[in-house]
Structure 1
């Protein structure tokens, strides 16, 4: 009978934490929607506001530009005020941005609204995986943090469908004057939903314990793991927090051997995630397909296929990551993406472009990305830092990620025009090869370990242990 009650309690706590993670992951959906909406609107915006390639790239790049500021703000404020209130602020930023883009009459207002959206994306990209990692049991943490990537993929999928419906159900003139405004405006709906549902989620128990709110933290941990596991986890977290009181501070932590390596791993993974070419494909998929011979409508439909692939294989990642491990998936994904990009570059180099082969390789690239670097990077970054510096350290890594996203987004159309399609994709392929080698040599495996276990490994690391850990 006791075993039955324990099983019921276990299932109940798993359902509770899954629901909380699902609500938080709506922030990832908004992240994906704001990233992907430009792919359907970009052609209409270029004509409407007479943009050259540089200005068009900048309008697209406003999201990562704003996100660079958003992650820094979120890293500082979430450590001071908590994860939940800053996520609520992100929801408002998404709504303001969507409506601002929808009603704009000038490029200046469009840029401002996109930057505001970027702030929200930056906050969500940092805090959603961080928050989920802090509320998740170790046994399913990878899967639950993966819901953030599922949210991102779902957001991109949804916006691709929205864009295709709007572009294919009205006249070209309506699309040019009104349609693109609807593409942006629809994003306000999930933004409002995210803001409302966040009132039902708890604050991070690790943040609560950090602030000395033992009773509230205990209640949350018991909902997550049950009373017996919660008691042991509270003991471990409180012990880690006592050690934090002896901490030399954020900068002092980062000069320690173990945490220097953790910061290096996080920063390089963050930058390399964008050098896979995924942002280029997400923002400019219709342009890529048009260059391979598809018509405008066909290009939008093929873009929806990318969105569907993202959702399906993000779910597969969630099922695999706690079994196969983070490191192995990152290596397999980097190798797969490199092969796809080399072939795509070769196709564009040929005198006759084979449209179906371009589509196949782009889809396989998307599969490889979603099975590895899409969610895997966020999972690793959210795990490898101690509570005392997690928000700020993740902010630094996320800042680098969005800086890399800005560079890719800003210069991809220019690179495509001046270097050509083949060289552009071969450059991304080279980046994937470098990613494979870095992961092989430097990235630790974190599956099945509690956040406190991972912290203890970094804390105890000396020079010899460093080599054993990263080898």
Structure 2
């Protein structure tokens, strides 16, 4: 049916790309700390594993705050207003972190940026899903992940290029030498500060995009919803989309409100699936490779400048891998790609752990890490947000998405904060074998529990879950 409708593709792509700028900023803010880490740690004299873990993971506390705020606010105030606030917070964080005089202020502004990350990662894919036609929804939501990865790559490129500006810093520079260098004093500040430019662009451009039509129907603002749906697909699409949305709202039990909605069996099941997938994506271990890439490559025998270049290569692989998702997600479906990802990563972690156990040369480790990052980047990384943006009922969609996003950030924080301690106790090999076991477990849960959502409207997906007791 949708294939016969003449959609305004230019309009759909423009508002999707604008919303996806939130994903771009998330990607930049997410990994810029990894490349700046070898320089701000000497500046602030961070020597203990707990201090180093806090510097890397403090933004994740803000991410959890942002996700919690969305639980209570996204269904009340809509998607657009909160994304505008996220753009403002990204701008404040970039400038504040770059000018931070102490480690306390550094973490304060990182937490501010984390709040913006929590909002953007939650609402950008949800907004795109709610304005997208069903047959293109997977591709358009994946565009958000593509911009996340472009943000990741840009952060790594900027970190690398800024580190090269300090020509007087030797490749084997120690802690004290880095602290006294230009890179240790000023260079890392530019790594954070340049984010203010795209952050302000996102803040201004979000005033232009419309509110989610599905949220407007839920808020009983029918005239606005009709106008937006009409711009997306014309009168025929407006009529069919409104009928589906209103039918699902009508099917909701009017006497089942508040906590009662969440206690219904189909709701509990779908929220549990969302929470599990969020933890799986984080505990699959790739964020350790991203955040602690410098430490991993140092352990493999690379010097400082080689480490920075290897980190850039990781970002390039992440960007290229998302194009695989764009061309496959609406053809092969979400479940097949997730099964490929979890099984492949389980095998790759087995090999990475063995590389550390057998003390093999650094080149083979880099290849295994790059392949692992590539698999993650076209499966678990984008598909989590595609699935989460699809499976929740309209009545609780914003809050349920926020709960899953909160689980994502709890998983991210625990993984990142405790990694230095876990690594010290387990060693590199056992640490990666643990991630392999988690991916193997995730494979079987996805195989037996997760339904396929390819090609279905959000309303059809909701009805499918409601029928399965």
TM class by shorter chain equals over 0.9
**How many pairs align?**
454
Paired position in structure 1 for 2:43: 48
Q: TM-score, normalised by structure 2?
A: 0.94
Instruction: Give, in whole Å, the separation in 2 of the partners of 1:425 and 1:251.
Output: 40
Equivalences for residues 367-406 of structure 1 within 5 A: 367-406=374-413
Instruction: Give, in whole Å, the separation in 2 of the partners of 1:459 and 1:158.
Output: 43
Paired position in structure 2 for 1:426: 433
CA deviations on 1:299-348 (whole Å, 9 max, x unpaired) are 11111111111111112101110111001100100011111111111010
Instruction: Give, in whole Å, the separation in 2 of the partners of 1:401 and 1:295.
Output: 33
Q: 2:226 aligned to 218, 238, 254, which one?
A: 218
1:339 matched to 2:347? The reply is yes
Paired position in structure 1 for 2:282: 274
Closer, same or farther in 2 for the Cα pair 1:461/1:225, shift >3 Å? same
1:162 matched to 2:154? The reply is no
Paired position in structure 2 for 1:456: 463
Q: 1:101 aligned to 97, 115, 118, which one?
A: 97
1:291 matched to 2:299? The reply is yes
CA deviations on 1:387-428 (whole Å, 9 max, x unpaired) are 110011111111111001001110112222332110111111
Q: 1:65 aligned to 57, 61, 67, which one?
A: 61
Paired position in structure 1 for 2:172: none
Q: 2:132 aligned to 115, 136, 140, which one?
A: 136
Give yes or no for contact 1:270–1:397 (8 Å, CA) kept in 2. Answer: yes
Instruction: Give, in whole Å, the separation in 2 of the partners of 1:276 and 1:205.
Output: 35
Where does the alignment leave 5 or more consecutive residues of structure 1 unmatched?
Answer: 1-5, 463-471
| Aligned partner of residue 419 in structure 1, secondary structure | helix
Q: 2:186 aligned to 178, 194, 203, which one?
A: 178
Where does the alignment leave 5 or more consecutive residues of structure 2 unmatched?
Answer: 170-180
Instruction: Give, in whole Å, the separation in 2 of the partners of 1:30 and 1:318.
Output: 20
Closer, same or farther in 2 for the Cα pair 1:348/1:269, shift >3 Å? same
| Aligned partner of residue 310 in structure 2, secondary structure | helix
Shift of residue 247, structure 1, vs aligned partner: 5.6
1:28 matched to 2:23? The reply is yes
| Aligned partner of residue 199 in structure 1, secondary structure | coil
Instruction: Give, in whole Å, the separation in 2 of the partners of 1:247 and 1:145.
Output: 34
Instruction: Give, in whole Å, the separation in 2 of the partners of 1:218 and 1:152.
Output: 31
Shift of residue 254, structure 1, vs aligned partner: 2.5
CA deviations on 1:338-364 (whole Å, 9 max, x unpaired) are 1111111101011x3321111111111
Give yes or no for contact 2:245–2:459 (8 Å, CA) kept in 1. Answer: yes
Instruction: Give, in whole Å, the separation in 2 of the partners of 1:355 and 1:386.
Output: 48
Equivalences for residues 232-247 of structure 1 within 5 A: 232-244=240-252, 246=254
Shift of residue 245, structure 1, vs aligned partner: 6.2
Equivalences for residues 85-100 of structure 1 within 5 A: 85-100=81-96
Closer, same or farther in 2 for the Cα pair 1:245/1:316, shift >3 Å? same
1:441 matched to 2:433? The reply is no
Instruction: Give, in whole Å, the separation in 1 of the partners of 2:193 and 2:70.
Output: 25
Q: 1:192 aligned to 194, 200, 211, which one?
A: 200
Paired position in structure 1 for 2:372: 365
Shift of residue 19, structure 1, vs aligned partner: 1.4
Shift of residue 227, structure 1, vs aligned partner: 1.7
1:303 matched to 2:298? The reply is no
Give yes or no for contact 1:293–1:353 (8 Å, CA) kept in 2. Answer: no
